[in-house]
Chains A and B, each alone.
Chain A
Amino acid sequence: MKNKSLLAKFASAPYTVWMCIFVIVPIALVVYYAFTDADGNFTFGNMTSIVEYGSTFLISLKLALISTVICLLMAYPVAYTISKMKQRRQSTMIMLVMLPMWMNFLIRTYAWMTILEGNGLINRFVRMLGGEGFSMINTDGAVVLGMVYNFLPYMILPIYTVLTKIEKSTIEAAQDLGANRLSVFRRVLLPMSIPGIISGITMVFVPAVSTFVISKLLGGGKTFLIGDIIENFFLGNTGTVNYNVGAALSLVLMILILISMTIMNHFDKDESSGGIM
């Protein structure tokens, strides 16, 4: 018994060290910068200056929320259908879902740029058929599309995982007790898949709300998200480097994410039953 816990400690040591160096220390630094000025004196000034960026926070939250909802609506049926397939088919389908992730995220987003452009693939095809081209790139819609495309697998996988864990007999029992297909879904499947949905939502919402590359490439630099502002403060693209306000913005963003995750977890009553988190 004693040995085992020692082994467990030893085995988890690399991860603990990793987390300390690359998660705890950076977060402490963010907090430090957020509450100090350029000379290192304590101040609330950075935090209060954030009010200016309220509208940007709102746009970021709005786009992330829209993307998350679309992802959920698209992913659930897909995950459900896959979970009903024969075992071998399932592995193939899941591999197909993950296939795009083998390629770098930036390259895939660049690819969307050439697809959506005014002279891009879609418009060229439409014109070939005699239609009129339309503009898609450099709009909020294109940014949402980029988010949905990039983050969809993160919604499908956790939902699929919980769905496969649901025993067939549970559903049969419900049917035996007179439940029709709608009530089986509403009262058995859906409640039981909530942990997967929650992890899915978190895994899509968090990267979507903080992204800055997608808005730059597909939004044409005209849809400024909170991630863009933070990037600018750290890289000085606007002409001044300001770690302090950048850190304050990051901190607020983290707190917002934390709050939304807490609210989400509130719905997740049955914590023991999995999902990928």
Chain B
Amino acid sequence: MKKALSFILSICVVLPILAFSGCGGNGDKITLNVYNWGEYIDMSAVYEFEKTYGIDVNYTTYASNEEMYAKVSSGAASYDIVIPSDYMIGKMIEEGLLAELDFANIPNYSLIGDEYKNLAFDPDNKYSVPYTWGTTVVMYNKSVVDPADVKDKSLDLLWNEKYSGQILMFDNPRDAFGLALHKLGYSMNTTNPDEWEAAAKELKKQKPILQAYVMDQIFDKMSSGEAAIAPYYAGDALIIQESNPDIEYFIPKEGANMFVDSMCVLKNSQHKTEAEMFINFMCNTDVAVMTAEMIGYATPHTEAKKALDPAITSNPVVYASAEVLENTEVFLNLSPEISLLQSELWTDIKKD
């Protein structure tokens, strides 16, 4: 009996080892590792790419630029394509994490609007192809929030004690501090430690009236009416409004963050050409339209913008006008000292 048992057990141990060692030579099919934000692509585009080019795509997601950076910079995982935001691209270029792109493989790059090229984080546009852009907005549920409180389109709404327990806040320091700094009339890229301290004080003051600090859960909580007020990204506000028509949103008068998320290839990618094929594929007009319709963010793709429903492209918040954009700021890469200060202040706010 014991012998039989140990025999069975050893088979159980040995079999999987044999099975694994057998699958080393899996044809020569290339696998591209794509690392993107959550809820930030139409998956059918990925399937279509796989079918068209016979390349497997291993698609994984992250919730913040910082999370993506931690994984990529630790070298623990190898990705081919990432889609970071502006300031993070700047940081990654500085640290030599990104590969220079061969634009001969990305002919569709010419379809990207010129106003999204050569931006401060990638001045000669050697490393990135713009994927989406937008601004942060403040969302509110008009069945709960008094119209008088939103008339002036101010960030004060997020600090309004009248709505205690119904306000959500960004669960990442860069966005959260950005709002607080703007509320105080400072730049979100300020290098003055006192202004960061003052912003931290604002955030501490806000904590007791918050319902929660969240990121992707904002979708559920705003759609279901669980929360009434939340800051988020313009494109997402549009998607949330689709499921809950009571949701309205505005670009705050104190200023907002304007972001550009761009597709980049990592320096240690083993399949750079295929990665560029993927980027080019995502810039096909029909794919860009699919993406824009799915995720709701503004597209930098000129042809796709023309093909989209005019009701979307005329939306003054999602496709903000040049004058509105003048009052916005793009995140710049923070110095290590300010970055550390921000991290300490944020931990301090959260642990209290």
A binds B: yes
For A117, the chain B residues whose CB sits under 8 A away are: 221, 224, 226
**Number of residues on chain B facing chain A (CB within 8 A):** 35
Assembly CA distance A223 to B174 (angstroms): 20
B3: nearest chain-A partner, CB-CB = A7
Q: Which of A55, A229, A235, A239 contacts B339 (CB 8 A)?
A: A239
Assembly CA distance A117 to B207 (angstroms): 19
Assembly CA distance A55 to B171 (angstroms): 21
Contact, CB under 8 Å: A229 / B172: no
Is B259 engaged at the interface, CB distance under 8 Å to the other chain? no
Is A211 engaged at the interface, CB distance under 8 Å to the other chain? no
**Number of residues on chain A facing chain B (CB within 8 A):** 28
Contact, CB under 8 Å: B9 / A11: yes
Contact, CB under 8 Å: B226 / A118: yes
Is A83 engaged at the interface, CB distance under 8 Å to the other chain? no
Contact, CB under 8 Å: B66 / A236: yes
A225-236 vs B: 1/0 string, CB under 8 Å?
A: 000110010111
CB within 8 Å for A119 and B339 given contacts A7-B6, A237-B67, A238-B346: no
Contact, CB under 8 Å: B67 / A236: yes
For A239, the chain B residues whose CB sits under 8 A away are: 66, 173-174, 334, 339, 342-343, 346
Q: How many interface contacts (CB-CB < 8 Å) are there between A and B?
A: 80
Is B13 engaged at the interface, CB distance under 8 Å to the other chain? yes
For B172, the chain A residues whose CB sits under 8 A away are: 237
Contact, CB under 8 Å: B70 / A221: no
Is B69 engaged at the interface, CB distance under 8 Å to the other chain? yes
Is B107 engaged at the interface, CB distance under 8 Å to the other chain? no
Is B347 engaged at the interface, CB distance under 8 Å to the other chain? yes
Contact, CB under 8 Å: B347 / A232: yes
Contact, CB under 8 Å: A220 / B212: yes
For A178, the chain B residues whose CB sits under 8 A away are: none
A139 CB to nearest chain B CB (Å): 11
Is A90 engaged at the interface, CB distance under 8 Å to the other chain? no
For A241, the chain B residues whose CB sits under 8 A away are: 66, 69-70, 73-74
A215 CB to nearest chain B CB (Å): 10
B347: nearest chain-A partner, CB-CB = A238
Is B64 engaged at the interface, CB distance under 8 Å to the other chain? yes
Is A149 engaged at the interface, CB distance under 8 Å to the other chain? no
Is B210 engaged at the interface, CB distance under 8 Å to the other chain? yes
Contact, CB under 8 Å: A119 / B226: yes
For A236, the chain B residues whose CB sits under 8 A away are: 66-67, 69-70
Assembly CA distance A203 to B211 (angstroms): 31
A13 CB to nearest chain B CB (Å): 9
Contact, CB under 8 Å: A119 / B70: no
CB within 8 Å for A222 and B212 given contacts A11-B6, A234-B70, A237-B66: yes
Is A53 engaged at the interface, CB distance under 8 Å to the other chain? yes
B340 CB to nearest chain A CB (Å): 6
Assembly CA distance A57 to B301 (angstroms): 50
Q: In chain A between 205 and 229, which residues have their CB closer than 8 angstroms to a CB of chain B? A: 220-222, 224, 228-229
Is A138 engaged at the interface, CB distance under 8 Å to the other chain? yes
CB within 8 Å for A222 and B207 given contacts A138-B212, A236-B69: yes
A104-130 vs B: 1/0 string, CB under 8 Å?
A: 000000000000011110000000000
A-B contact pairs, 11 of them (CB 8 A): A117-B224, A117-B226, A118-B226, A119-B225, A221-B214, A222-B210, A224-B351, A236-B66, A237-B67, A237-B171, A240-B343
9 smallest CB-CB distances across A and B, nearest first, come from A220-B212, A221-B213, A236-B70, A238-B343, A240-B343, A236-B66, A224-B351, A224-B350, A239-B343
